[in-house]
């Protein structure tokens, strides 16, 4: 009986080790993982991509910062910035197991869909800083999902960038363009409270056909 019990314990131990190895193999596969405890901000900068038309505050600006570890892993931080009103609308952080995976599953798709330019990291940091500060003056905060993305940004010096970052609409007023996931009523209530009705311009859908006013 004691021998049989010992054999069961040995089998359980073998199965436990096998499950551990399987789990480790799954983690090292080509799937995406979000950086958490591991800080990738000190990895060498691979590239910093910003929307080609970032100087047009009426259009959404995309920012992507990629860093590569000595072992070949690539971490990428992404931001969606509305310089006309809402500031940093969204963000994400992803980790790719290799440069090839990063190119295949992210970079190549991005460049097929959007016109991007490679810029200095401090310019990207200044766009984020100005967008955040402008939105804060109107009563808006960055999306919570940007926290991990900012960790990947690492140390930046936006004050060293002398580019002028535009904010607001063509009249110099806040310009709110409602996106598909924006709570237009809530946003306009915040603008009315902090800026005053008539002191901003907006475009919001008024029908299922997507008409704007």
Query: Are 35 and 78 spatial neighbours (Cβ–Cβ below 8 Å)?
Result: no
* Pairing, β 116-118 against β 87-96: unpaired
First-residue to last-residue Cα distance in the chain: 82
Confidence of residue 77 (pLDDT cuts 50, 70, 90): very high
CA distance 135 to 163: 19
pLDDT at position 210 is 37
Q: Is residue 194 predicted with pLDDT exceeding 90?
A: yes
* Pairing, β 74-82 against β 45-51: unpaired
pLDDT at position 35 is 43
pLDDT at position 204 is 79
User: When comparing pLDDT for 86 and 18, which is higher?
Assistant: 86
CA distance 137 to 168: 12
CA distance 41 to 2: 54
Beta strands in 132-211 (DSSP E): 175-177, 201-203
Tell me the pTM: 0.79
What percentage of the chain reaches a pLDDT higher than 70?
A: 78
pLDDT at position 6 is 52
For the segment 147-182, what is each residue's pLDDT rounded down to a tens digit? 989 999 999 999 999 999 999 998 889 999 998 889
CA atoms within 13 A on the CB side of 183: 6
């Amino acid at each position: 009986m004691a021998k049989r019990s010992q054999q069961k314990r040995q089998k359980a131990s073998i199965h436990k080790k096998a499950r551990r190895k399987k789990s480790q193999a799954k983690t090292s596969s080509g799937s995406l993982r979000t950086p958490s405890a591991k800080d990738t901000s000190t990895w060498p900068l691979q590239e910093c991509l910003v929307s080609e038309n970032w100087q047009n505050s009426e259009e959404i600006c995309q920012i992507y910062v990629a860093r590569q570890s000595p072992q070949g892993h690539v971490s990428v931080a992404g931001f969606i910035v509305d310089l006309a009103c809402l500031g940093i609308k969204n963000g994400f952080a992803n980790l790719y197991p290799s440069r090839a995976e990063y190119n295949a599953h992210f970079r190549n798709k991005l460049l097929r869909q959007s016109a991007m330019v490679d810029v200095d990291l401090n310019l990207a940091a200044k766009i984020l800083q100005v967008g955040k500060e402008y939105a804060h003056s109107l009563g808006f905060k960055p999306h919570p999902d940007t926290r991990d993305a900012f960790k990947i940004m690492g140390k930046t010096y936006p004050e060293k960038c002398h580019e002028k970052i535009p904010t607001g609409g063509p009249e110099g007023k806040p310009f709110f363009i409602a996106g598909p996931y924006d709570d237009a009523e809530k946003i306009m209530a915040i603008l009315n409270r902090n800026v005053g009705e008539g002191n901003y311009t907006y475009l919001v859908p008024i029908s299922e056909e997507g008409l704007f006013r």
